[in-house]
Amino acid sequence: MKYTYFHTVILPIQSYVQNTAYTCGVAILRDILKTRGVHLSEKEVAKMSQTDEVRGTSPDALLETLDSYGVPYTVYKKATTALAEETIRLGHVCLVPYQAWPTHLSKIPDLEGGHWSIIFGFNKTHFFLADPAKHKLKTDHILGFRTIDKKRFQKNWIDKSYDDKVYTRWMVSVPLFAPPSKEKRKTKVKIVDGYTLRNTIDIDFGMVGDHAVYPYIPKGEIWIDQCFAAEKDSILASFLKRKTLMRTERYEKAKSALRTTNLHTSQSVHTKPDVLSKHKDITIRLVSGKKVRRYYDPSFSFGGHQYVYSYVPKKEIWIDDAAPKAERKYIIVHEVEEYERMKRGMSYDNAHDYANAVEKQARRADGVTQYLRD
């Protein structure tokens, strides 16, 4: 495109200023959410996006937060300044991570100067940024906005997340003038009685789910079992992260990616697991589910064994101490049946179905069930 002296494109957007050294990502999320009529404090958005001074706001966490409020977006990898300009012409702003300090990339080989801003306009030589780190200066009283030379930005357009994943010319475009979606409203998170659900509607109801996982859950709602209520924020964040991964990965690959991200190889489940019982050569242990989810696998719940969770020692079944005591008996029945069948070579899907049938039989024998189809 041939530029003229007057050729400038600017989109209207407010720029919040960050209140800490690490909440630039939180600030730009607040900018975007405000365009959708969602007004949240820095503290509220930081909690939802799991932002802290060690991790900052990771690209995945940023996308999860946009997802949770139904904000449409497009992710570009190895984008260009020309693509950013074209995106802005279409009425989309560009959320970008880049190296802001110092000015020369050669001085920051470790990529420790990462920063989030929004590109909302451009002219021939510069981008216009909603920069949450831009405070008032003696010579410049503009708050939250600045310009950056395109060539300098191109050189500094690289960042890494807390887990050392490098993002080169990574960009998220968000339509600024998109009409509000009837379906994509803020998701309602409900704490529900999972024990009753498993005894009446669905024996397979797990720790967390939405309509896509359990069709009986109304659209726009996420249900979390009340026995995991104390971990609500981390469970919700992991669930949304898995949904984001599943856009490009199959379900099991998405779960595996989460486990890899979460795994602390030098960390153990800091508890002394209690031996609940023995079954043949299998030791059944009560473990701290909260610590397993924190240090090993955010999707772990109720129980598991080596054939499903590789981190569980051989010939052991782990029972989650967060599960209701009244259900532990049935969880053990289920896990033992599934373990034995998978040990003989049966697939997980088939072994799980057989285990569900045996578990239902045990619940019926104790008179605790009222399944709708019985």
Report the pLDDT value the prediction gives residue 298, as an integer from 0 to 100. 85
Asked if residue 83 and residue 225 are part of one domain, the reply reads no
Q: Which of 119, 154, 175 corresponds to the end of one domain?
A: 175
Are 163 and 204 within one domain?
Answer: no
* DSSP code for 296: T
Domain encompassing residue 25: 9-175
- The count of structural domains within the chain is 2
Task: Evaluate whether residue 3 is within a structural domain.
Answer: no
Place of tokens 């030589």: 125
**Residue 373 domain-assigned (yes or no):** no
Q: Global pTM?
A: 0.52
- Cα angle value 194/195/200 (rounded, 5°): 95
Q: 100-136 as b/e, with b when 16 or more CB fall inside 10 Å?
A: beeeebeebeebebbbbbbbbbbbeebbbbbbbbbee
Do 92 and 235 lie in one domain? The reply is no
* Cβ-based neighbour number of residue 264 at 10 Å: 9
Asked which of 175, 201, 220 is the last residue of a domain, the reply is 175
Res 258: pLDDT: 44
Question: Residue 61 and residue 313: Cα distance in Å, rounded?
Answer: 31
Question: Phi and psi at residue 82, in whole multiples of 5°?
Answer: -65, -40
Among the listed residues 117, 110, 69, 111, the one whose alpha carbon sits nearest the alpha carbon of residue 94: 117
CA torsion sign for 67, 214, 363, 200 is positive
Do 271 and 334 belong to one domain? yes
Instruction: Tell whether 170 and 196 lie within a shared domain.
Output: no
**Predicted pLDDT at 135:** 62
Domain-located, residue 4? no
Among the candidates 147, 175, 203, a domain finishes at 175
**CATH number of residue 77's parent domain:** 3.90.70.10
Q: Which parts of the chain sit beneath pLDDT 50?
A: 1, 4-5, 103, 105-106, 138, 180-185, 247-255, 257-268, 270-272
DSSP string, 342-373: HHTT--HHHHHHHHHHHHHHHHHHTT----TT
Task: State residue 374's pLDDT score.
Answer: 58
Co-location of 129 and 271 in the same domain: no
191/207 Cα distance (integer angstroms): 10
Tens of pLDDT, residues 156-202: 898 887 777 888 889 999 988 755 444 444 678 999 999 999 999 99
Q: Which pLDDT does position 254 carry in this prediction?
A: 44
The pLDDT value recorded for residue 162 is: 74
Are 144 and 251 part of one and the same domain? Answer: no
- Of 85, 114, 109, residue with least CA distance to 9: 85
DSSP secondary structure letter of residue 52: B
pLDDT digits (tens, 9 = 90+) for 18-34: 888 888 999 999 999 88
